[in-house]
């Protein structure tokens, strides 16, 4: 599954944006600006994938989006 930042503010490198699945995580590399993508493989069918933001100091986080892989 691939997540794309479609627009809005750029998320700086000091903050982390990752795709999280039961099979593991994949992080966006560098600043996350419009059009940037990250892909997670081997998630399996009907698996929940979350896009998670983590602050630079690691103290705050938020789920930005959640979706399921195709069955």
Q: pLDDT tens track of the chain, all 71 residues?
A: 778 888 778 899 999 998 898 888 888 888 898 888 888 887 888 999 999 999 999 999 999 889 988 88
How many whole angstroms separate alpha carbon 61 and alpha carbon 14? 13
DSSP 13-48: TTSEEEEEETTEEEEPPS-B-TT-EEE-----TT-E
How many whole angstroms separate alpha carbon 50 and alpha carbon 65? 6
How many whole angstroms separate alpha carbon 49 and alpha carbon 43? 8
Range of the domain at 63: 2-68
**CB atoms near residue 26 (< 10 Å):** 19
How many structural domains is the chain composed of? Answer: 1
pTM above 0.95, yes or no: no
DSSP code, position 57: T
């Amino acid at each position: 599954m691939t997540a794309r930042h479609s627009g809005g503010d750029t998320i700086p490198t000091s903050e982390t944006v990752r795709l999280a699945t039961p099979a593991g995580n994949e992080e966006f590399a560098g600043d996350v600006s419009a059009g940037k993508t990250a892909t997670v493989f081997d998630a399996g069918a009907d698996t929940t994938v979350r896009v998670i933001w983590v602050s630079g100091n690691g103290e705050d986080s938020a789920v930005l989006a959640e979706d399921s892989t195709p069955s």
